[in-house]
């Protein structure tokens, strides 16, 4: 009799305990009551790592070419659940495969492409508007010769290399020509005295052929050449014509390509 009562009591305690720790839903939240001193252990990650593959796809892949981004997006086949976000400010294109397009989504499975400026684009942008002495300007133009395009750019290179060879010259005047270009009049100093005289024909503008972004196509940029005379020396600088527009247009080319070829809905903004 006593053993039966003890067994019934133990069963009752067990049932009460199981009922007490069973999760209870209140609205959209879930609750459980546990005795004081008990510790919660989440075994989800341990169980998942023991499997041959994760329970679902997640993580971020960083890609360096639009073609790679398109290939990865095609492999995920998430056109029905995902969006692609294009941000012109950060020049990033982010694909979110488990987005909230169908109502809800974890938004943690992504592919990112960031358009990075090429070294040559960085050089020209960094020196844009920078006033340079004659020899510094000549060295800069000569070092970046492969980026120069057109006849005016060729003339600019000739002027720069000639000036570099003639280090001891005094510039005395400048005059505007009918074709819009400028001539600089100079006297070459030989043995500390005035020697041969000559003229440099300075182009008003010149063109650059640059790859603005890595793994991208070439892009044409126009530049205006500026100079000023002071005490027999000349200072040069150039001003790129609205380079921000060229950068924006080059990035827009990537966005248009993704929108056309990916099959995903492309949104402008941050993911």
Q: What percent of the chain has pLDDT over 90?
A: 46
Asked whether residue 133 falls in the same domain as residue 99, the answer is no
Give a yes or no: residue 38 inside a domain: no
Per residue in 71-114, pLDDT (tens digit) is 999 999 999 999 999 999 999 999 999 999 888 899 999 999 99
Asked whether residue 219 falls in the same domain as residue 260, the answer is no
Per-residue b/e over 189-198, b at no fewer than 16 CB within 10 Å?
beeeeeeeee
Asked whether residue 108 falls in the same domain as residue 125, the answer is no
Query: pLDDT band at 196, cuts 50/70/90?
Result: very low
Helices and strands: H and E segment counts in the chain? 7, 15
Helix axes of 243-261 and 66-76: crossing angle, nearest 10 degrees:
30
What total of structural domains would you count in the chain? 3
Give a yes or no: residue 36 inside a domain: no
Give a yes or no: residue 201 inside a domain: yes
Let me know: does 239 contact 223? Beta carbons within 8 Å. yes
What is the model's pLDDT at position 134? 80
Let me know: does 61 contact 50? Beta carbons within 8 Å. no
Give a yes or no: residue 150 inside a domain: yes
Asked whether residue 64 falls in the same domain as residue 127, the answer is no
Residue range 183-197: mean pLDDT, rounded? 48
Asked whether residue 198 falls in the same domain as residue 126, the answer is yes
On average, the pLDDT of the chain sits at 82
Asked whether residue 124 falls in the same domain as residue 236, the answer is yes
Q: Provide the domain limits for residue 11.
A: 2-31
**Rounded Cα–Cα distance for residues 170 and 185 (Å):** 9
Give a yes or no: residue 25 inside a domain: yes
Annotate 9-35 with DSSP letters as a single string.
Answer: HHHHHHHHHHHHHS-EEETTEEE----
What is the model's pLDDT at position 234? 77
DSSP state of 145: G
Give a yes or no: residue 172 inside a domain: yes
Highest mean pLDDT among 24-38, 74-88, 129-143: 74-88
Give a yes or no: residue 62 inside a domain: yes
Least confident of 49-53, 56-60, 96-100, 168-172: 168-172
Give a yes or no: residue 59 inside a domain: yes
Asked whether residue 149 falls in the same domain as residue 174, the answer is yes
The tokens of 216 are what? 């991208």
**Rounded Cα–Cα distance for residues 191 and 184 (Å):** 22
């Amino acid at each position: 009799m006593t053993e039966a009562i003890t067994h019934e009591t133990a069963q009752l305690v067990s049932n009460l305990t199981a009922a007490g720790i069973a999760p209870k839903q209140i609205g959209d939240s879930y609750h459980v009551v546990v005795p004081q001193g008990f510790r919660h252990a989440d075994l989800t990650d341990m169980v998942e790592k023991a499997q041959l593959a994760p329970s679902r796809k997640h993580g971020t892949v960083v890609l360096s070419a639009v073609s790679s981004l398109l290939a990865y997006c095609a492999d995920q086949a998430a056109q029905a659940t995902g969006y692609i976000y294009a941000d012109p400010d950060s020049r990033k294109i982010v694909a979110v495969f488990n987005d909230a397009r169908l109502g809800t989504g974890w938004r943690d499975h992504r592919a990112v492409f960031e358009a990075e400026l090429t070294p040559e684009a960085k050089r020209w942008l960094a020196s844009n508007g920078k006033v340079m002495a004659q020899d510094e300007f000549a060295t800069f133009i000569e070092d970046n010769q492969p980026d120069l395009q057109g006849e005016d750019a060729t003339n600019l290179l000739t002027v720069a290399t000639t000036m570099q060879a003639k280090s001891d010259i005094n510039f005395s005047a400048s005059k505007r020509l009918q074709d819009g270009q400028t001539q600089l009049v100079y006297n070459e100093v030989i043995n500390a005295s005035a020697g041969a005289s000559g003229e440099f024909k300075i182009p008003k503008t010149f063109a650059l052929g640059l790859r603005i972004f890595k793994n991208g196509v070439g892009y044409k940029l126009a530049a205006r050449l500026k100079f000023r005379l002071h005490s027999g020396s000349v200072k040069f600088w150039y001003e790129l014509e609205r380079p921000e527009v060229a950068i924006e247009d080059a990035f827009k080319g990537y966005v248009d390509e993704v929108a056309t070829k990916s099959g995903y809905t492309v949104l402008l903004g941050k993911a």
